[in-house]
A and B are shown apart, each in its own frame.
Chain A
Amino acid sequence: GAVVSQHPSRVICKSGTSVKIECRSLDFQATTMFWYRQFPKQSLMLMATSNEGSKATYEQGVEKDKFLINHASLTLSTLTVTSAHPEDSSFYICSARDNRGGRTDTQYFGPGTRLTVL
C-alpha cells in the first residue's frame, strides 16, 4: 500500500509560538508532497506544493514566511507555522505523490493534524 503519516495528530499551543508538523511517506519515496488546510465543515484548500531539494511553491494568498515548508528527504516534509495565532487554528493535511512505476501518480493523504492556538 501507500501509507502517509503525520505527527503530531493534535497540538495545542499558545499564541506567538511556532509549531512544526511532519509528514512522512512510510513505504514509498515522494519527490512531491502537498500541504492542505481544512476549516471546520469546509473543503481542503491547497496551501503549497513541497518539492524535495527545492523551494516550495505556495498558492496565492498563503504567506511563505508564515508557513515554512522543508522537504529535506524523499520521505519527509515539514510544515512550520511560525508565530501562530488563533486564526491559524485548523486541520492541516498533507499528501504525498506516489509515482512509482505503473501507478497513477495518485496522491495519498495523511491522517491530518489538528492545530489549536490559544
Chain B
Amino acid sequence: GEDVEQSLFLSVREGDSSVINCTYTDSSSTYLYWYKQEPGAGLQLLTYIFSNMDMKQDQRLTVLLNKKDKHLSLRIADTQTGDSAIYFCAESVSAGNKLTFGGGTRVLVKP
C-alpha cells in the first residue's frame, strides 16, 4: 500500500529558508502536492508537481522531486511568521484521485 512519511517538526528563524522533506513508497505516484493547514482550518493547496518534473518554483516556494529516491521537498524562501502552520505532502496516482497524506510537518517560525 501507499505510505507517505514526513518529519514531525521544523523550527526556523524569520527570514531564513525552510526545507520540509517527504518520502513516499508508491512508485506509481503521478501527482505530488504540498498543502498548508493553519490551526482549526482546512487545507490550502500550495503547489503540486508532476512525477515527470524535477523542480517547480512558484514565488517563494520551490519543490524538488527525486523520483528515483521517492523524495519530495518543499523549500520556503525568506520564511515569515505567517508561514507557521502544518505542511502536508500528499500523493495520488491520477489527477484528482484520492490523496494519501503524510503525517504533516509542523513549522514554527521564530522572530
A residues at B contact (CB < 8 Å): 4, 6, 32, 34, 42-46, 49, 93, 95, 97-99, 104-112, 114
Interface mask (B81-107 → A, CB under 8 Å = 1, otherwise 0):
000000010000011101111111000
Partner of B41, one of A107, A108, A111: A111
A-B contact count (CB 8 A): 56
Q: Is the CB of B96 within 8 A of A43?
A: no
Partner of A114, one of B40, B44, B88: B40
Contact residues on B (Cβ < 8 Å of other chain), bracket: 20 to 34
Docked CA distance A44–B98 (Å): 12
Q: Is the CB of B102 within 8 A of A111?
A: no
Q: Is the CB of A104 within 8 A of B48?
A: yes
The 10 closest A-B pairs by CB, nearest first: A105-B96, A105-B95, A109-B43, A97-B96, A111-B42, A109-B42, A43-B101, A112-B42, A43-B103, A44-B101
Q: Is the CB of A42 within 8 A of B96?
A: no
Which has the most chain A C-beta neighbours within 10 Å: B31, B45, B48? B45
Chain B residues in 8 Å Cβ range of A114: 40
Partner of A32, one of B35, B40, B96: B96
Docked CA distance A107–B95 (Å): 9
Chain B residues in 8 Å Cβ range of A109: 35, 42-45
Docked CA distance A109–B98 (Å): 13
Docked CA distance A49–B92 (Å): 14
Which has the most chain A C-beta neighbours within 10 Å: B31, B44, B88, B101? B101
Kindly report which residue of chain A lies nearest to residue B44, judged by CB atoms.
A109
Q: Is the CB of B102 within 8 A of A43?
A: yes
